Structure 1
Amino acid sequence: MRIIVDARKVSGKHYGIGTYIRRLGETCARLSPSDDFVFLGETDRADGKGVPRDATRISGDNVTWEPNSSANYGLRELVSVSWQVRNLAGDVFHAPHYVYPLMLPCPGVVTIHDCIHLRFPQQFPKPGSNLYADRMIRRAVAKSDRVLTVSEATRADLVELVNADPSKIEVIPHGCDPYFLEPVDNLELSKVAEKYNLDRPFLLSVTNIKPHKNLKRLLESFGQLWRDYDDLDLVIAGGDFKQHPE
């Protein structure tokens, strides 16, 4: 079976979806050696033989890359991806984001990670962004053969907000990256703790600090927790605090 994956978000500033594509791609290719996996994305070489620098772990005898540099959130991507799936004779297509191509020639699966544009539109003031997300999510749910979500919360949102058929939705939570299961040298831990002045127990939140990440609620909750555990620190990592000094 030939499985085609829209992997254009594997590179650039698509942190969460990029990680999802990388880990899912490398794992599926390894666990299904009898299937062929074709990933569409920005390759290092125009002939399509190269692999994006951010996706070198997606490799194997059953893995190929085909170039597609269509810009996100435009009509061209809806057409170009569908055209490639047809030319590559795909048996199944996977869209790891809610943008679903036009007129797919084969069954398709879409992953919808969240419905924050629909649930919290006030957090996205950019003109047209919420309307675009609403239209694309509704279309993806209607046109795909199967909808994957990463949480029961997103499944419930899809049923409530876009009237999705619950029987069409499959919840598959994120797995744990093997990186976090590797033992860490105590000396290395000591160096990191010293570098960031971590000399007490701490609660770690790894996130950017955009409004929809709900850090305000995290701070409020930690304030309540701190009443009983005043020796605990809150450490926030992964965001550019200069963009949101508040």
Structure 2
Amino acid sequence: MRIAVSARTLDYPSGGPKEYLIGLVNALLTIGGHELVLYYSRADHLGTFPGATENVLPVRNRLLFDWLALPLALRRARPDVAFFPSSNMPPGIPCPAVVAMLDLGYFHPTLRMYKTADTCYMRRAIRYSARRAERIVAISEHTRRDVLRLTRARPENVSVTPLSCDPIYKRPVSPDAVASFRRDHRLSRDFILYAGNISPRKNLSVLLAAFAKVRGALDCDLAVTGGLAWNQDFEADVARLGLAGRVRRLGHIARDDMPLLYRAASALAFPSRFEGFGLPVLEAQACGTPVVCADATSLPEAAGKGALLVDPTDTEAWAAALARVTTDTALRRTLIAAGRANEAHFTWEKTARLTLAALEAAAGAPGR
């Protein structure tokens, strides 16, 4: 098959959608047997995937890329099937299509997850995609249930393709490299890590409140990655709780440095109230870092038995969990071993083969 792939998510600085695209495409290329035709919005992405056919549609505006440039390019290229890895596809696609549904947080009735304009656009786009695409792949059972509950997708056309973490998280890392990373980022004290974006759905207000309750008993700081999209809310919580000297803002960490960050951390705390999958959980498990995460949405699927699961709304429970995961040596050993075993069940090869099955089914769907 000739598989066209919309690769605009490579423009993102970091995050799950970008990791998904990179991991899946690399695995598809390793399996081989099909031609992958990728479409970028920027020329500096050329060479990202050796072995693929790479094309640049020099349109930086997201809507112009999706609605105009890409459909025109696909009409000329005439692929057997097109793959859209970011929860929606535009109108005018002239071939069978598969859409990956990453999460349906745009439909959540109470949590602020995305800006208003993005929410309005994506609700319509997701519902259209669920009707139009020949097949849908959901990255967790939780997301599949949301797709079936919130759209008119047919159950037999929606399959689950769980994610995996990049091989960089499984490579050996020297203690000297970890020590150098800590020096470069001025991480002289031990720390609990939150890895991800800063937004209300990530539930950092509960994490900060829990950390404030046990800060006197813990000889460690809280280190937080992520951009500034919801910075005002976060900084207000830090100031209100008197945590200015104990919370470290790391900002964006380069992808190749993330394994060093996980290995430097005493634990990963991931309190998110809504996830489509939860890749940071697997990344930390692969690095041998104990995990505490929310018992919500898709996170129990991702974490398996390799994490301490906590109600995302219970500040007292989170405070107790942070204390346990940093001081209970036996628990730490158990979580590290169970985490590695759980992470090993997820591979990009499995994800790629399940995705190929959906692509083949779409390409052979009647009426196309």
**TM-score under structure 2 length normalisation:** 0.55
2-structure distance, mates of 1:69, 1:121: 38
Q: SS in structure 2 opposite 1:136?
A: helix
Report the equivalent of 1:210.
199
Residue 179 of structure 1 and its aligned partner are, at CA, apart by: 0.6
The more displaced of 134-143 and 16-25 is 16-25
Q: Tell me whether 1:80 sits opposite 2:69 in the alignment.
A: yes
Q: What is the root-mean-square deviation of aligned Cα atoms in Å? A: 2.9
Report the equivalent of 2:171.
182
Residue 198 of structure 1 and its aligned partner are, at CA, apart by: 4.8
Instruction: Specify whether residues 7 and 13 from structure 1 end up closer, same or farther in structure 2 by C-alpha distance, changes over 3 A only.
Output: same
Q: How many residues align?
A: 232
Among candidates 31, 56, 81, match of residue 47 of structure 2? 56
Residue 99 of structure 1 and its aligned partner are, at CA, apart by: 2.9
Q: Tell me whether 1:65 sits opposite 2:43 in the alignment.
A: no
Kept in 2, the 8 Å contact 1:8–1:69? The answer is: no
Q: SS in structure 1 opposite 2:162?
A: coil
Q: Deviations along 1:165-200, whole A, 9 cap, x unmatched? A: 332222212211111011111112223345433543
Report the equivalent of 2:139.
150
Structure holding more helix per residue: 2
Residue 216 of structure 1 and its aligned partner are, at CA, apart by: 2.4
Q: SS in structure 1 opposite 2:224?
A: strand
Residue type at the aligned position of 1:59? P
Unpaired segments of 5 or more residues in structure 2?
237-368
Instruction: Specify whether residues 241 and 11 from structure 1 end up closer, same or farther in structure 2 by C-alpha distance, changes over 3 A only.
Output: closer
Residue 43 of structure 1 and its aligned partner are, at CA, apart by: 4.1
1:17-166 → structure 2 map (5 Å cutoff):
17-32=17-32, 34-44=33-43, 52-53=44-45, 56-60=47-51, 63-72=52-61, 74=63, 77-120=66-109, 123=112, 126-166=115-155
Residue type at the aligned position of 1:42? S
Identity of aligned residues (%): 27
Residue 147 of structure 1 and its aligned partner are, at CA, apart by: 0.9
The more displaced of 230-239 and 23-32 is 230-239
Higher relative contact order (CA 8 A, sep 6+): 2
Residue 151 of structure 1 and its aligned partner are, at CA, apart by: 1.8
Report the equivalent of 1:49.
none
Instruction: Specify whether residues 126 and 183 from structure 1 end up closer, same or farther in structure 2 by C-alpha distance, changes over 3 A only.
Output: closer
2-structure distance, mates of 1:242, 1:156: 29
2-structure distance, mates of 1:8, 1:119: 25
Unpaired segments of 5 or more residues in structure 1?
45-51
